[in-house]
């Protein structure tokens, strides 16, 4: 669980003053916090660990690392459920 | 067992292996620190490509493995409470405590949830103001910035019903503990790439100088690991002991400064117990006093729980590089991933679990596998 997974930043947005991104990992898109790599732009590749980008990498590095993590079966964290509750048992539409 | 042509660049891998064979004149024991590296070494059979006199031993760098049983039992005691939503990374759910695992607690009605990011706990806390949301904050330096942000944001946003059960550990004090042991065999280290992406590698320099050991910060691709081993052996053969960076395409000496700043704002260094090893001074983090309202150990009066570890298990010696999985009589027999007896079998990144996953419990000796590889046209 200590490995970071590379993905492509496809969108950035603000969440209560925190810089966030949607990051594409293969066929899965998950949110990641960009506070630790604030210079990141859409189209960049970042190493993401438990929902936080910790470093920027180039595309070739990203693709190679992703493939290796897939072979090592180290992508399970991406499959954790998405939290979409907004209170009173309601969910985001 | 994988062969050279299955590596990203088989020719380059072959050249590195050749160079290792060419320059090596003495036996050396090298430890890879990170569980991801262990996994990669065992999966790709990297140890089988090396000269017979180069031994790879597997370090303590799997956070799930080294989380002490007492802490797991504490987590379970909290998770059983009806007023708690207990959140954790998925890896911790199957780790057995003295009485079942988090899956068992969930099946008995406990509200146990797997989260992708620690920040998910904030969303859950907003949605359930009547519950205390407790996050099991385990990990090495790589995970610390993410966990620190949860508590930082909770305090900034005034979210009272979020807390953390902290069991954070640090790599450099573990390396120091291994080197200080009278039984130590390790002569060089492959340092953990992603840990250093956050922390940089400045703090490894005094270690390398004090104990006169090469430390090569290394990635976890097979080519990275081979290159890291070559760089370590070069230093050992030349009598040098320096910190070198094999993984410069991802990290530099300084690491990620914004991440370090937040980690130091939220956490302070504390003694930590490591499963299988015991207490290592100043080897982990605890929450700073300013964040005590978010400290689950302070919020829930969980008493120290007496735990009983297996008497057969030698995981402490495996994590310290003194022994290997095959030295344990229980390995692959009474101890296996379904029924782990100790630290190195409880998570897929542990050395024993990695050996088991790639069938090494079936082959007792290196030569056995090597002969198979040669007969199939692999490297000698």
Contacts of B129 in chain A (CB under 8 A): 87
How many Å lie between the alpha carbon of B121 and the closest alpha carbon of chain A? 9
B330 alpha carbon, distance to own chain's centre = 22
> CB within 8 A of B297, min separation 6: which ones?
B74, B165, B166
Contacts of B89 in chain A (CB under 8 A): 1, 50, 77, 80
Work out the minimum CA distance from A49 to partner chain B, whole angstroms. 7
- CA dist B216 and B278 (Å) reads 26
| CA distance, residue A44 to nearest chain B CA (Å) | 14
- Check whether B9 has a pLDDT greater than 80: no
Smallest Cα distance from A31 to chain B, Å? 9
Helices (runs of H) and strands (runs of E) counted in chain A: 1, 7
Write the pLDDT tens digit of every residue in B252-283: 999 999 999 999 999 999 999 999 889 999 99
Q: Quick check: B373 pLDDT over 90?
A: no
Flag whether pLDDT at B380 surpasses 70. no
Record: contact A65-B64, CB cut-off 8 A: no
Going across the sheet that includes B28-34, the strands are B54-61, B28-34, B188-192, B215-218, B243-245
pLDDT band at B378 (very low <50, low <70, confident <90, very high): very low
| Contact predicate B36/B58, CB 8 Å | no
Share of chain B above pLDDT 90, in %: 83
Q: ∠B313-B28-B351 over CA atoms, to 5°?
A: 30
Q: How confident is the model at residue B362 (pLDDT cuts 50, 70, 90)?
A: confident
3-state secondary structure A47-64: EEECCEEEEEECHHHHHH
Confirm or reject CATH 3.40.50.2300 for domain B4-63+171-245, answering yes or no: no
- Please tell me the distance in Å from B259's CA to the nearest CA on chain A: 5
Do B116 and A50 count as a contact with CB atoms less than 8 A apart? yes
Contact between chains at A49 and B142 (C-beta distance less than 8 A): yes
What are the tens digits of pLDDT across the range B30-39? 999 999 999 9
**CB–CB contacts below 8 A, A to B:** 138
Q: Judge whether residue B3 has pLDDT over 70.
A: no
**Distance in Å, alpha carbon of B349 to nearest chain A alpha carbon:** 8
Q: What is the pLDDT of residue A67?
A: 85
Indicate the residue of B63, B157, B220 with minimum beta-carbon distance to A1.
Answer: B63
Interchain CB distance below 8 Å, B221 and A68: yes
pLDDT tens digits along B52-79? 999 999 999 999 999 999 999 999 999 9
Kindly list the residues from chain A whose CB atom is less than 8 angstroms away from the CB atom of residue B85.
Answer: none
Residue A31 lies in a domain: yes
* Pairwise CA distance, residues B19 & B107, whole Å: 54
- pLDDT-derived band at B379 (thresholds 50, 70, 90) equals very low
CATH number for A58: 2.30.30.140
Name the DSSP letter for residue B67. S
Q: Which one of B36, B139, B258 has the shortest CB-CB distance to A36?
A: B258
Establish if A91 belongs to a structural domain: no
**What is the pLDDT at residue B2?**
43
Measure the CA dihedral B246/B249/B254/B256, to 10°: -130
Q: Do domains B4-63+171-245 and B65-168+255-299 have the same CATH topology?
A: yes
CB contact under 8 A, B194 and A51: no
Can you give the pLDDT at residue B374? 35
Q: Phi and psi dihedrals of B335, rounded to 5? A: -110, 120
DSSP conformational letter for A82: P
Sort out which chain A residues have CB atoms less than 8 A from B145's CB and list them.
36, 52, 54
Which residues form the domain of A37?
5-81
Residue of B nearest to A31 (CA): B117
**Which of A48, A52, A70 best tests the B interface by mutation, with the highest count of B CBs <10 A?**
A52
Q: Which helix (H) or strand (E) holds B168?
A: strand B162-169
**Is A49 an interface residue toward B (CB < 8 Å)?**
yes
Question: Could you read off the pLDDT tens digit of each residue along chain A, which spans 93 residues?
Answer: 678 999 999 999 999 899 999 999 988 999 999 999 999 999 999 999 999 999 999 998 888 888 888 887 778 888 888 887 765 555 665
Task: Tell me the domain boundaries of chain B.
Answer: 4-63+171-245, 65-168+255-299, 315-369
How many domains would you assign to chain A? 1
Contact partners, residue B94, CB within 8 Å, separation at least 6: B101, B102, B103, B346
Residue A57 lies in a domain: yes
**Pick from B149, B264, B166, B89: nearest CA to A33:** B149
Counting every residue written for chain B, the total comes to 380
CA distances from B260 to A6, A57, B49, B266 (A): 20, 19, 38, 10
Q: How far is residue A52's CA from residue B285's CA, in Å, rounded to a whole number?
A: 19
In a domain, A28, yes or no: yes
> Does residue B371 carry a pLDDT above 50?
no
A68: contact with B, CB 8 A cutoff: yes
Least confident of A70-74, A86-90, B88-92, B186-190: A86-90
Q: Which pLDDT score, from 0 to 100, does residue B1 have?
A: 34
Please indicate whether residue B365 or residue B224 has the higher confidence score (pLDDT). B224
Chain A residues 6-25 with CB within 8 Å of chain B: 16, 18
Lowest mean pLDDT of A68-72, B18-22, B283-287, name the range. A68-72
Is the model more confident about B318 or about A79? B318
Query: Is 70 exceeded by the pLDDT of residue B8?
Result: no
DSSP track, B340-362:
--SHHHHSTTSHHHHHHHTTTTT
Q: Which fold has domain B65-168+255-299?
A: Rossmann fold (3.40.50)
The DSSP bridge pattern shows strands A52-57 and A45-49 to be antiparallel
Average pLDDT, chain B: 91
pLDDT tens per residue, range A26-47: 889 999 999 999 999 999 999 9
């Amino acid at each position: 669980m200590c490995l970071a997974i590379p993905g492509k930043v496809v969108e950035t947005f603000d969440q209560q003053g925190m810089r966030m991104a949607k990051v594409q990992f293969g066929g899965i898109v998950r949110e990641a916090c960009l506070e630790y790599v604030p210079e990141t732009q859409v189209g960049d590749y970042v190493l993401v660990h438990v929902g936080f980008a910790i470093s920027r990498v180039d595309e070739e590095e990203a693709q190679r690392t992703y493939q290796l993590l897939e072979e090592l079966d180290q992508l399970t964290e991406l499959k954790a459920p998405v939290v979409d509750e907004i209170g009173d048992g309601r969910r985001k539409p | 067992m994988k062969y050279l042509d299955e590596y990203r660049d088989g020719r380059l891998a072959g050249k590195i292996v050749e160079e290792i064979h060419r320059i090596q004149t003495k036996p050396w024991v090298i430890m890879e620190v990170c569980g991801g590296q262990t996994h990669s070494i065992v999966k790709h059979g990297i140890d089988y490509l090396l000269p017979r006199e180069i031994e790879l031993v597997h370090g303590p760098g799997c956070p799930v493995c080294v989380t002490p049983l007492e802490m797991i039992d504490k987590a379970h005691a909290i998770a059983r409470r009806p007023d708690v939503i207990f959140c954790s990374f998925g890896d911790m759910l199957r780790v057995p405590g003295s009485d079942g695992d988090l899956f068992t607690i969930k099946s008995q009605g406990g509200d146990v949830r797997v989260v992708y990011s620690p920040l998910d706990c904030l969303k859950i806390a907003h949605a359930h103001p009547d519950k205390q949301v407790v996050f099991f904050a385990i990990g090495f330096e790589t995970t610390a910035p993410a966990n620190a942000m949860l508590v930082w944001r909770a305090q900034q946003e005034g979210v009272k019903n979020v807390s953390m059960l902290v069991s954070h550990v640090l790599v450099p004090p573990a390396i120091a503990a291994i080197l200080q042991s009278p039984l130590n065999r390790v002569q060089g280290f492959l340092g953990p790439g992603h840990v250093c992406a956050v922390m940089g590698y400045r703090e490894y320099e005094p270690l390398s100088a004090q104990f006169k050991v090469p430390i090569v910060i290394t990635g976890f691709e097979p080519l990275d690991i081979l290159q890291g081993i070559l760089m370590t052996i070069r230093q050992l053969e030349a009598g040098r002991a320096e910190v070198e960076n094999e993984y410069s395409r991802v990290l530099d000496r300084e690491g990620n400064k914004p991440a370090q700043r937040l980690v130091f704002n939220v956490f302070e260094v504390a003694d930590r117990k490591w499963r299988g090893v015991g207490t290592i001074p100043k080897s982990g983090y605890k929450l700073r006093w300013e964040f005590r309202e978010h400290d689950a150990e302070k919020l829930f009066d969980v008493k120290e729980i007496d735990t009983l570890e297996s008497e057969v298990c030698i995981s402490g010696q495996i994590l310290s590089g003194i022994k290997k999985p095959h030295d344990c009589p229980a390995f692959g027999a009474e101890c296996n991933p379904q029924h782990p007896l100790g630290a190195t079998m409880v998570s897929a990144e542990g050395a024993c679990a990695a050996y088991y996953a790639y069938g090494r419990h079936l082959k007792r000796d290196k030569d056995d596998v090597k002969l198979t590889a040669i007969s199939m046209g692999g490297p000698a």
